[in-house]
Protein backbone atom coordinates (compact mmCIF):
# COMPACT_ATOMS: atom_id res chain seq x y z
CA UNK A 1 0.00 0.00 0.00
CA UNK A 2 1.21 3.52 -0.79
CA UNK A 3 1.91 6.13 1.91
CA UNK A 4 -1.03 8.24 0.64
CA UNK A 5 -3.43 5.46 1.67
CA UNK A 6 -2.08 5.55 5.23
CA UNK A 7 -2.30 9.33 5.31
CA UNK A 8 -6.06 9.03 4.67
CA UNK A 9 -6.57 6.74 7.71
CA UNK A 10 -7.71 7.88 11.16
CA UNK A 11 -5.18 7.93 14.01
CA UNK A 12 -7.13 5.14 15.67
CA UNK A 13 -6.80 2.88 12.63
CA UNK A 14 -3.11 3.73 12.29
CA UNK A 15 -2.48 2.86 15.93
CA UNK A 16 -4.35 -0.42 15.50
CA UNK A 17 -2.31 -1.34 12.41
CA UNK A 18 0.97 -0.42 14.11
CA UNK A 19 0.12 -2.57 17.14
CA UNK A 20 -0.76 -5.57 14.99
CA UNK A 21 2.29 -5.23 12.73
CA UNK A 22 4.56 -5.01 15.78
CA UNK A 23 3.34 -8.40 16.97
CA UNK A 24 3.37 -9.99 13.50
CA UNK A 25 6.94 -8.85 12.80
CA UNK A 26 8.41 -8.99 16.31
CA UNK A 27 9.15 -5.28 16.04
CA UNK A 28 9.70 -2.52 18.58
CA UNK A 29 9.39 1.21 18.21
CA UNK A 30 12.09 3.47 19.62
CA UNK A 31 11.33 7.20 19.67
CA UNK A 32 13.31 10.28 20.61
CA UNK A 33 11.89 12.88 23.02
CA UNK A 34 11.61 15.44 20.16
CA UNK A 35 9.15 13.39 18.13
CA UNK A 36 5.54 14.50 17.65
CA UNK A 37 3.54 13.68 20.77
CA UNK A 38 1.34 11.14 18.94
CA UNK A 39 4.49 9.30 17.80
CA UNK A 40 6.02 9.45 21.29
CA UNK A 41 2.86 7.80 22.61
CA UNK A 42 3.16 4.68 20.44
CA UNK A 43 6.81 4.08 21.37
CA UNK A 44 7.93 1.00 23.29
CA UNK A 45 10.86 3.07 24.47
CA UNK A 46 11.02 6.85 24.54
CA UNK A 47 14.25 8.55 25.47
CA UNK A 48 17.39 10.53 24.83
CA UNK A 49 20.21 9.50 22.51
CA UNK A 50 21.98 7.52 25.23
CA UNK A 51 18.87 5.61 26.31
CA UNK A 52 17.96 4.85 22.71
CA UNK A 53 21.46 3.50 21.97
CA UNK A 54 21.26 1.27 25.03
CA UNK A 55 17.87 -0.09 23.96
CA UNK A 56 19.09 -0.73 20.42
CA UNK A 57 22.09 -2.62 21.76
CA UNK A 58 20.02 -4.95 23.94
CA UNK A 59 16.78 -5.48 22.04
CA UNK A 60 15.58 -8.98 21.24
CA UNK A 61 13.19 -7.75 18.56
CA UNK A 62 13.87 -8.65 14.92
CA UNK A 63 12.85 -5.23 13.64
CA UNK A 64 13.48 -1.80 15.17
CA UNK A 65 11.41 1.11 13.87
CA UNK A 66 13.42 4.21 14.70
CA UNK A 67 11.43 7.40 15.14
CA UNK A 68 14.15 10.00 15.30
CA UNK A 69 16.83 11.15 12.87
CA UNK A 70 19.26 9.22 10.71
CA UNK A 71 22.32 9.19 12.97
CA UNK A 72 20.24 7.54 15.70
CA UNK A 73 18.99 4.84 13.34
CA UNK A 74 22.57 4.34 12.12
CA UNK A 75 23.75 3.90 15.71
CA UNK A 76 21.04 1.26 16.17
CA UNK A 77 22.33 -0.55 13.05
CA UNK A 78 25.92 -0.36 14.28
CA UNK A 79 25.00 -1.74 17.71
CA UNK A 80 22.57 -4.36 16.40
CA UNK A 81 23.89 -5.21 12.92
CA UNK A 82 21.85 -8.42 12.66
CA UNK A 83 18.53 -6.60 13.11
CA UNK A 84 16.41 -4.84 10.53
CA UNK A 85 16.44 -1.14 11.41
CA UNK A 86 13.72 0.95 9.78
CA UNK A 87 13.68 4.75 9.46
CA UNK A 88 10.10 5.79 8.55
CA UNK A 89 11.24 9.11 7.06
CA UNK A 90 14.26 9.09 4.76
CA UNK A 91 14.67 12.87 4.97
CA UNK A 92 14.99 12.84 8.76
CA UNK A 93 18.58 14.02 8.95
CA UNK A 94 20.44 16.06 11.57
CA UNK A 95 22.00 19.21 10.09
CA UNK A 96 24.60 19.30 12.87
CA UNK A 97 25.77 15.76 12.07
CA UNK A 98 26.49 16.95 8.51
CA UNK A 99 28.85 19.66 9.83
CA UNK A 100 31.73 17.21 10.17
CA UNK A 101 32.47 14.88 7.27
CA UNK A 102 34.77 11.83 7.43
CA UNK A 103 37.11 13.60 4.98
CA UNK A 104 37.37 16.76 7.11
CA UNK A 105 37.87 14.72 10.28
CA UNK A 106 40.56 12.56 8.63
CA UNK A 107 42.39 15.74 7.63
CA UNK A 108 42.10 17.22 11.13
CA UNK A 109 43.42 13.96 12.61
CA UNK A 110 46.37 14.06 10.23
CA UNK A 111 47.21 17.56 11.50
CA UNK A 112 46.71 16.57 15.15
CA UNK A 113 48.18 13.07 15.39
CA UNK A 114 48.29 12.93 19.19
CA UNK A 115 44.71 14.00 19.86
CA UNK A 116 41.95 11.70 21.05
CA UNK A 117 38.78 12.13 19.00
CA UNK A 118 35.59 12.34 21.03
CA UNK A 119 32.46 12.42 18.88
CA UNK A 120 29.01 13.42 19.98
CA UNK A 121 26.64 10.69 18.79
CA UNK A 122 25.12 13.34 16.49
CA UNK A 123 27.58 12.28 13.78
CA UNK A 124 27.45 10.04 10.72
CA UNK A 125 28.61 6.42 10.91
CA UNK A 126 31.59 7.39 8.72
CA UNK A 127 32.72 9.92 11.35
CA UNK A 128 32.16 7.45 14.20
CA UNK A 129 34.43 5.03 12.35
CA UNK A 130 37.26 7.59 12.76
CA UNK A 131 36.47 8.29 16.41
CA UNK A 132 38.10 7.01 19.60
CA UNK A 133 35.05 7.28 21.84
CA UNK A 134 31.51 8.60 21.45
CA UNK A 135 29.47 10.56 23.96
CA UNK A 136 25.95 11.92 24.29
CA UNK A 137 24.71 15.04 26.03
CA UNK A 138 23.96 12.84 29.07
CA UNK A 139 27.50 11.54 29.56
CA UNK A 140 29.86 13.94 27.71
CA UNK A 141 31.34 15.43 30.89
CA UNK A 142 32.00 12.01 32.44
CA UNK A 143 33.42 10.54 29.24
CA UNK A 144 35.86 13.43 28.83
CA UNK A 145 36.83 13.24 32.52
CA UNK A 146 37.61 9.54 32.03
CA UNK A 147 40.23 10.48 29.43
CA UNK A 148 42.42 12.22 32.03
CA UNK A 149 44.84 14.76 30.62
CA UNK A 150 44.73 13.59 27.04
CA UNK A 151 44.41 16.24 24.31
CA UNK A 152 40.95 16.03 22.81
CA UNK A 153 39.42 16.92 19.48
CA UNK A 154 35.66 17.16 20.09
CA UNK A 155 33.23 16.94 17.14
CA UNK A 156 30.91 18.41 15.96
CA UNK A 157 29.10 20.60 18.53
CA UNK A 158 31.06 23.67 19.61
CA UNK A 159 28.50 24.46 22.33
CA UNK A 160 28.55 21.01 23.94
CA UNK A 161 32.34 20.94 23.47
CA UNK A 162 32.70 24.36 25.14
CA UNK A 163 30.44 23.31 28.02
CA UNK A 164 32.42 20.10 28.58
CA UNK A 165 35.71 21.98 28.44
CA UNK A 166 34.46 24.44 31.07
CA UNK A 167 33.16 21.66 33.35
CA UNK A 168 36.23 19.44 33.12
CA UNK A 169 39.09 21.84 32.43
CA UNK A 170 40.15 19.39 29.72
CA UNK A 171 42.59 20.29 26.97
CA UNK A 172 39.80 20.13 24.41
CA UNK A 173 39.41 21.71 20.99
CA UNK A 174 35.79 21.87 19.82
CA UNK A 175 34.85 21.57 16.16
CA UNK A 176 32.83 24.50 14.79
CA UNK A 177 29.44 22.78 14.37
CA UNK A 178 26.19 23.58 16.12
CA UNK A 179 22.55 22.57 16.39
CA UNK A 180 20.46 25.27 14.75
CA UNK A 181 17.55 24.59 17.13
CA UNK A 182 19.56 25.20 20.31
CA UNK A 183 22.14 27.64 18.98
CA UNK A 184 19.46 30.26 18.44
CA UNK A 185 18.27 30.24 22.04
CA UNK A 186 19.20 33.63 23.51
CA UNK A 187 19.76 35.49 26.75
CA UNK A 188 16.67 37.54 25.82
CA UNK A 189 14.63 34.31 25.77
CA UNK A 190 15.84 33.63 29.31
CA UNK A 191 15.10 37.18 30.51
CA UNK A 192 11.60 37.10 29.02
CA UNK A 193 10.80 33.77 30.70
CA UNK A 194 12.39 34.69 34.03
CA UNK A 195 10.23 37.85 34.08
CA UNK A 196 7.07 35.89 33.27
CA UNK A 197 7.83 33.01 35.70
CA UNK A 198 10.15 34.44 38.35
CA UNK A 199 10.12 31.37 40.62
CA UNK A 200 10.55 28.75 37.89
CA UNK A 201 13.51 26.40 37.69
CA UNK A 202 15.30 26.84 34.37
CA UNK A 203 16.70 23.71 32.68
CA UNK A 204 18.94 23.96 29.62
CA UNK A 205 20.31 21.48 27.08
CA UNK A 206 24.11 21.68 26.62
CA UNK A 207 23.71 22.26 22.85
CA UNK A 208 22.71 25.84 23.76
CA UNK A 209 25.23 28.73 23.60
CA UNK A 210 27.47 29.34 26.63
CA UNK A 211 25.81 32.64 27.66
CA UNK A 212 22.42 30.89 27.86
CA UNK A 213 23.82 27.84 29.73
CA UNK A 214 25.40 30.26 32.20
CA UNK A 215 21.94 31.45 33.30
CA UNK A 216 20.43 27.99 33.87
CA UNK A 217 19.76 26.24 37.17
CA UNK A 218 20.56 22.81 35.70
CA UNK A 219 22.10 21.47 32.48
CA UNK A 220 20.54 18.22 31.31
CA UNK A 221 20.08 15.92 28.34
CA UNK A 222 16.44 15.54 27.30
CA UNK A 223 15.92 12.50 29.54
CA UNK A 224 17.75 14.30 32.34
CA UNK A 225 15.05 16.96 32.06
CA UNK A 226 12.31 14.30 32.16
CA UNK A 227 13.90 12.77 35.26
CA UNK A 228 14.14 16.15 36.95
CA UNK A 229 10.49 17.05 36.32
CA UNK A 230 9.38 13.53 37.38
CA UNK A 231 11.36 13.94 40.60
CA UNK A 232 9.55 17.15 41.60
CA UNK A 233 6.08 15.88 40.60
CA UNK A 234 5.18 14.91 44.18
CA UNK A 235 7.11 17.75 45.83
CA UNK A 236 6.36 21.27 47.00
CA UNK A 237 8.94 22.49 44.50
CA UNK A 238 6.59 21.77 41.65
CA UNK A 239 4.70 25.02 42.44
CA UNK A 240 7.66 26.90 41.03
CA UNK A 241 7.21 25.47 37.55
CA UNK A 242 9.94 24.73 35.02
CA UNK A 243 11.30 26.58 31.99
CA UNK A 244 12.56 24.08 29.43
CA UNK A 245 15.48 25.10 27.21
CA UNK A 246 15.30 22.54 24.47
CA UNK A 247 13.21 21.41 21.49
CA UNK A 248 9.44 21.74 21.95
CA UNK A 249 8.71 18.00 21.51
CA UNK A 250 10.05 17.46 25.02
CA UNK A 251 7.98 20.37 26.34
CA UNK A 252 4.86 18.81 24.77
CA UNK A 253 5.67 15.47 26.43
CA UNK A 254 6.13 17.03 29.86
CA UNK A 255 3.01 19.21 29.62
CA UNK A 256 1.03 16.11 28.68
CA UNK A 257 2.47 13.99 31.52
CA UNK A 258 2.45 16.64 34.24
CA UNK A 259 -0.63 18.84 33.68
CA UNK A 260 -0.46 20.26 37.23
CA UNK A 261 3.10 21.59 36.85
CA UNK A 262 3.76 24.88 35.04
CA UNK A 263 6.01 23.88 32.13
CA UNK A 264 7.10 26.57 29.67
CA UNK A 265 9.32 26.40 26.58
CA UNK A 266 12.31 28.76 26.63
CA UNK A 267 11.33 29.43 23.02
CA UNK A 268 8.31 28.09 21.18
CA UNK A 269 10.37 28.46 18.00
CA UNK A 270 12.81 25.75 19.11
CA UNK A 271 11.50 23.22 16.62
CA UNK A 272 13.64 20.58 14.92
CA UNK A 273 12.04 20.34 11.48
CA UNK A 274 13.42 16.92 10.60
CA UNK A 275 12.34 15.40 13.93
CA UNK A 276 8.78 16.43 13.06
CA UNK A 277 8.74 14.70 9.66
CA UNK A 278 7.85 11.34 11.22
CA UNK A 279 4.07 10.93 11.51
CA UNK A 280 1.81 8.10 12.65
CA UNK A 281 0.96 7.40 9.00
CA UNK A 282 4.65 7.07 8.12
CA UNK A 283 5.27 4.75 11.08
CA UNK A 284 2.36 2.50 10.02
CA UNK A 285 3.58 2.54 6.40
CA UNK A 286 7.15 1.84 7.52
CA UNK A 287 6.37 -1.13 9.74
CA UNK A 288 3.90 -2.73 7.31
CA UNK A 289 5.99 -2.26 4.15
CA UNK A 290 9.48 -2.60 5.71
CA UNK A 291 10.78 0.82 4.63
CA UNK A 292 13.30 2.44 4.77
CA UNK A 293 15.88 -0.18 5.68
CA UNK A 294 19.06 1.34 7.17
CA UNK A 295 22.16 -0.14 5.55
CA UNK A 296 25.82 0.60 6.15
CA UNK A 297 29.02 -0.89 4.67
CA UNK A 298 30.38 -3.67 6.89
CA UNK A 299 33.75 -2.02 7.46
CA UNK A 300 32.04 1.18 8.61
CA UNK A 301 29.88 -0.83 11.04
CA UNK A 302 32.98 -2.60 12.38
CA UNK A 303 35.01 0.58 12.84
CA UNK A 304 32.15 2.70 14.17
CA UNK A 305 31.05 0.05 16.67
CA UNK A 306 34.22 0.28 18.76
CA UNK A 307 33.66 3.99 19.51
CA UNK A 308 30.00 3.48 20.46
CA UNK A 309 30.70 0.34 22.48
CA UNK A 310 33.52 2.05 24.32
CA UNK A 311 30.99 4.68 25.41
CA UNK A 312 28.41 2.08 26.49
CA UNK A 313 31.01 -0.09 28.23
CA UNK A 314 32.25 2.92 30.20
CA UNK A 315 28.85 2.71 31.93
CA UNK A 316 28.49 6.47 31.84
P1 LIG B 1 19.54 14.11 23.83
O2 LIG B 1 18.14 13.60 23.73
O3 LIG B 1 20.51 12.99 23.87
O4 LIG B 1 19.69 15.08 24.94
O5 LIG B 1 19.91 14.83 22.46
C6 LIG B 1 19.38 15.94 21.95
C7 LIG B 1 19.45 16.01 20.49
O8 LIG B 1 19.61 17.05 19.94
C9 LIG B 1 19.26 14.83 19.72
O10 LIG B 1 19.25 15.16 18.41
FE1 LIG C 1 20.14 17.64 15.12
FE2 LIG C 1 19.50 19.71 16.66
FE3 LIG C 1 17.58 18.35 15.42
FE4 LIG C 1 18.93 17.23 17.46
S5 LIG C 1 17.59 19.01 17.55
S6 LIG C 1 18.43 16.29 15.49
S7 LIG C 1 20.96 18.12 17.12
S8 LIG C 1 19.22 19.55 14.45
- Quick one: pLDDT at residue 149? 95
In total, how many domains does the chain have?
3
- Quick one: pLDDT at residue 234? 85
Ligand 2 close to Cβ of residue 272 (< 6 A) = yes
**Which bound ligand lies closest to the C-alpha atom of 179?**
2
Q: Is the pLDDT of residue 221 over 90?
A: yes
Q: Is residue 167 domain-shared with residue 207, that is, in the same domain? A: no
Residue with CA closest to ligand 2 atom 2: 179
- Quick one: pLDDT at residue 175? 98
Q: Which of 66, 123, 96, 124 is nearest to 207 (CA)?
A: 96
The alpha carbon of residue 243 and the mean position of all alpha carbons in its chain are separated, in whole angstroms, by 19
64: domain CATH number?
3.40.50.10800
pLDDT by residue (tens digit) across 243-291?
A: 999 999 999 999 999 999 999 999 999 999 999 999 999 999 999 999 9
pLDDT (mean) for 183-202: 98
Ligand 1 close to Cβ of residue 286 (< 6 A) = no
Q: Is residue 150 domain-shared with residue 204, that is, in the same domain? A: no
Confidence of residue 197 (pLDDT cuts 50, 70, 90): very high
Q: Is residue 31 domain-shared with residue 66, that is, in the same domain? A: yes
Ligand 1 close to Cβ of residue 137 (< 6 A) = yes
Q: Is residue 88 domain-shared with residue 7, that is, in the same domain? A: yes
pLDDT by residue (tens digit) across 120-169?
A: 999 999 999 999 999 999 999 999 999 999 999 999 999 999 999 999 99
- Report yes or no on whether pTM surpasses 0.85: yes
Q: Is residue 58 domain-shared with residue 203, that is, in the same domain? A: no
Find the angle CA(29)-CA(102)-CA(79) to the nearest 5 degrees.
30
If you measure from the C-alpha of residue 311 to the centroid of ligand 1, how many angstroms do you get, rounded to a whole number?
16
Q: Is residue 239 domain-shared with residue 189, that is, in the same domain? A: yes
Residue with CA closest to ligand 2 atom 1: 94
Q: Is residue 80 domain-shared with residue 154, that is, in the same domain? A: no
Q: Is residue 155 domain-shared with residue 290, that is, in the same domain? A: no
Q: Is residue 207 domain-shared with residue 148, that is, in the same domain? A: no
pLDDT by residue (tens digit) across 11-38?
A: 999 999 999 999 999 999 999 999 999 9
The alpha carbon of residue 206 and the mean position of all alpha carbons in its chain are separated, in whole angstroms, by 12
Q: Is residue 88 domain-shared with residue 101, that is, in the same domain? A: no
Confidence of residue 241 (pLDDT cuts 50, 70, 90): very high
Q: Is residue 160 domain-shared with residue 306, that is, in the same domain? A: yes
Q: Is residue 60 domain-shared with residue 109, that is, in the same domain? A: no
If you measure from the C-alpha of residue 221 to the centroid of ligand 1, how many angstroms do you get, rounded to a whole number?
7
Q: Which domain holds residue 144?
A: 97-178+301-314
- Quick one: pLDDT at residue 84? 97
> Which contacts (CB < 8 Å, 24+ apart) does range 284-287 have?
284/6, 284/9, 284/14, 284/17, 284/18, 284/21, 285/1, 285/3, 285/6, 285/88, 286/65, 286/86, 286/87, 286/88, 287/18, 287/21, 287/22, 287/25, 287/27, 287/29, 287/63, 287/65, 287/86, 287/88
Amino acid sequence: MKLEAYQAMSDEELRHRIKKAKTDKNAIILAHNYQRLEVQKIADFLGDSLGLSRQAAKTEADVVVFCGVDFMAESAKILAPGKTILLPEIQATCPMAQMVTPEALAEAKAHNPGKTVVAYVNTTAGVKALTDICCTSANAVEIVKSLGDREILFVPDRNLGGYVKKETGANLTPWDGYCYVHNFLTVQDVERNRAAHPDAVFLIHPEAPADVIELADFVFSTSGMVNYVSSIAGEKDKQRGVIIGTEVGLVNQLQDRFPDIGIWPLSEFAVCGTMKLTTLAKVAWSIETGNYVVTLPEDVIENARQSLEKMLESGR
